[in-house]
Amino acid sequence: MKIAVVGTGYVGLVSGACFAEWGHIVVCVDKDPPKIAGLRQGRMPIYEPHLDEMVERNCASGRLDFTCNLAKALKEAAIVFIAVNVPPHGDRGEPDLSCLYRTASDLAPLIADNTVVVVRSTAPVGTGDMVQKIIAATRKPCTFSVASNPEFLCEGVAVKNALTPDRVVVGVDDERAYKRLLELYADPMDLQDIPVVVTARRTAELIKYAANAFLATKITFINELADLCERLGSDVEELALGMGLDKRIGTTFLTAGPGFGGSCFPGDTLALLRTAQDHGVPLRVIEETVAANDARKRRMALRVVEALGGNIDGLTIAILGLTCKPDTDDMREAPSIPLIEALQRFGGHIRAYDPMGVENAAKILDDVVFCDDPYDCARNADAAVVVTEWAIIRDLDLVQIKANMRQPILVDLRNAFRRDAAVQLGFRISTIGNSASTKGDVRSMARQRNRSLGTAKIIPIAMREKDNGIII
């Protein structure tokens, strides 16, 4: 099948490469000539593990190509995916649909009869209706279809998500779109026993927002329980494991931290709220989730200030990890941003390290010394703050980190390191969701017991024991 994908960001590029991997002929189109030139030479505009390999493989096979010529991309395409960026507009969080609607207008006179136009971008309920009206202003409604096919890609594992998703959701309002999208997805999904959920178009649009809002709420829930654990002398990681093993709850997204960020959760929760408000429906749980997450990200700076005795004026703070999550270079809504900005307002001097995010972080943050090495980042620092749990950060040699620091203060906002092991090395450590009263010996016995029960494979990554004895 010939497929065109408009947009070469996270969604468009990963989706297009995946369709080519399944054997389809795919042309990805973008208005950015340098980006397209780079892609044709094998240079990825984003960092995503294994994406470069999949793109290179399918370009070499002739199944995948890139162009700035929209007419060329759409020629003989049976399905056209719109995967352009839909950023939040202003402070209220409404999605800016101008690029998406402009794309629909541009492709309207170029698509062939019987083409199925699929909105792949995350967009509010009713977007498909508007796309259909825009295209119908140029073509007769009976000669094309508009469908919704929301993506559920997680940065850092997007290639895996695309090839082996939990489910595929397609929203269709006519038989042409129904048959065409089942033709695309049925075989690769059937082979892996992955469900393809077919809904009305508006329902599919809502599913994406509802799923992300639920996961955001789950993260906020465990973050608030982490605060309670600190007051009660409990341990949030053990709490999360005990809760998560209930199949009705599940262990994923129960890792406490500094608050959620990224391109999806913050924007999608706000967009869902705006949609509900426009239709007079209160979503109190989501409202509180958004407010609690914003407040949590701001409070993280106070944890650092408290760890340093209440005054950081003139002190140097090493930030370990900048991106919104590991294995991506995405800085959108990253918790590191409000943290660093607040610490600077309190008078702190910031040194920062991230294995992939420095280039994007430098476009956002001012007066930060960016380092190429985590040990150099910690040099002469009065405190080290773990913000993003990259593997290279979890595996740091704390002995060397301490030797480089002016004061041995560690603020671990991701629980990447064992509190008792860090204390034995001479650190004063502040963690999320447990207190100094938590007994190391008891936790050690608990870990052994969990392994004997065969649950180690589902324990959150920050809780897994490493050979060096420093990281659980």
CB-CB contact of 357 with 331 (8 Å): yes
Residues in Cβ contact with 41 at an 8 Å cutoff, skipping those fewer than 6 apart: none
Catalytic residue among 59, 229, 264, 377: 264
Burial 178-210 (b: 16+ CB within 10 A, else e): bebbbebbeebbeeeeeebebeebbebbbbbbe
CB-CB contact of 258 with 296 (8 Å): yes
Q: Is 264 assigned a catalytic role?
A: yes
**421 CB-contact burial (10 Å; exposed 0-12 / middle 13-18 / buried 19+):** middle
Strands 349-353 and 316-320 come out as parallel
* SS3 per residue for 365-409: CCCEEEECCHHHHCCCCCEEEECCCCHHHHCCCHHHHHHHCCCCE
Distance CA 385, CA 430 (A): 9
Distance CA 212, CA 162 (A): 17
Distance CA 7, CA 466 (A): 41
CB-CB contact of 179 with 170 (8 Å): no
For the beta carbon of residue 41, count every other beta carbon within 10 angstroms. Answer: 9
CB-CB contact of 297 with 304 (8 Å): no
Distance CA 245, CA 222 (A): 15
CA distances to 134, 219, 276 from 212, in Å:
28, 11, 15
Looking at residue 354, its amino acid is: D
Stated as kind and residue range, the H or E segment containing 5 is strand 2-6
Stated as kind and residue range, the H or E segment containing 306 is helix 284-307
Distance CA 40, CA 399 (A): 45
For the beta carbon of residue 127, count every other beta carbon within 10 angstroms. Answer: 24
The catalytic site residues sit at: 264
